[in-house]
Amino acid sequence: MDWVFIKDVKHYDEKEVTLKGWVYNKRSSGKIWFLIMRDGTGIIQGVVLKNEVSEEVFNKKDELTQESSIVVRGLIHADKRSPGGYEIVVKDIEIVQIADEYPIALKEHGVEFLMDNRHLWLRSRKQWAILRIRHTVYHAISDYLNMNGFYRFDSPLLTPNACEGTTTLFKVPYFDLGNAYLSQSGQLYLEAGIMSLGRVYDFGPVFRAEKSKTRKHLTEFWMMDAEAAFIEHDDNLKIQEELIRFVINAVLEKNLSDLEVLERDVEQLKKADAPFKRMTHKETVEFLRSKGSEITEKDDLGAKDEVLLTEDSDVPIFVEKWPKEVKAFYMKRDKDNPDLVLGADLIAPEGFGEIIGGSQREDDHDLLYKRMVDENMPLEDYQWFLDLRKYGSVPHSGFGVGLERLVQWMSGTKHIREVIPFARTIYRLKP
Residues that bind Mg ion (CB under 5 A): 357
Region of residue 420 (phi > 0: left; psi between -120 and 50: alpha; otherwise: beta): beta
Nearer to ligand 4AD, 26 or 208 (CB): 208
Q: Which of 402, 410, 417, 423 binds ligand 4AD (CB under 6 A)?
A: 402
> Which residues, listed in sequence order, are joined to residue 358 by a DSSP beta bridge?
344, 399
Choose the one of Mg ion, ligand 4AD, none that binds residue 232, judging by a C-beta under 5 to 8 angstroms depending on kind: none
362 lies in the binding site for ligand 4AD (CB under 6 A): no
Segment near ligand 4AD (CB under 6 A), from 109-117, 121-129, 135-143, 349-357?
Answer: 349-357
Question: Is residue 245 a contact partner of residue 419, using CB atoms and an 8 Å limit?
Answer: no
Segment near ligand 4AD (CB under 6 A), from 6-14, 169-177, 243-251, 354-362?
Answer: 354-362
The DSSP-derived string for 212-258 is: --STT--SEEEEEEEEEET--HHHHHHHHHHHHHHHHHHHHHH-HHH
Tell me how far apart the alpha carbons of residues 95 and 222 are, in angstroms, rounded to a whole number: 38
354 lies in the binding site for ligand 4AD (CB under 6 A): yes
Count the helices and strands in the chain (H runs, E runs): 14, 18
351 lies in the binding site for ligand 4AD (CB under 6 A): no
Q: Phi and psi dihedrals of 324, rounded to 5?
A: -65, -25
Q: Phi and psi dihedrals of 98, rounded to 5?
A: -85, 120
Choose the one of Mg ion, ligand 4AD, none that binds residue 208, judging by a C-beta under 5 to 8 angstroms depending on kind: ligand 4AD
Distance of closest approach, residue 219 Cβ to ligand 4AD, in angstroms: 7
Segment near ligand 4AD (CB under 6 A), from 19-27, 77-85, 112-120, 399-407?
Answer: 399-407
201 lies in the binding site for ligand 4AD (CB under 6 A): no
Tell me how far apart the alpha carbons of residues 23 and 134 are, in angstroms, rounded to a whole number: 24
233 lies in the binding site for ligand 4AD (CB under 6 A): no
Q: Phi and psi dihedrals of 335, rounded to 5?
A: -65, -25
Residue numbers of the site for ligand 4AD (CB under 6 A)?
A: 163-164, 184-185, 187, 208, 210, 217-218, 221, 223, 225, 354-358, 398-400, 402, 404-405
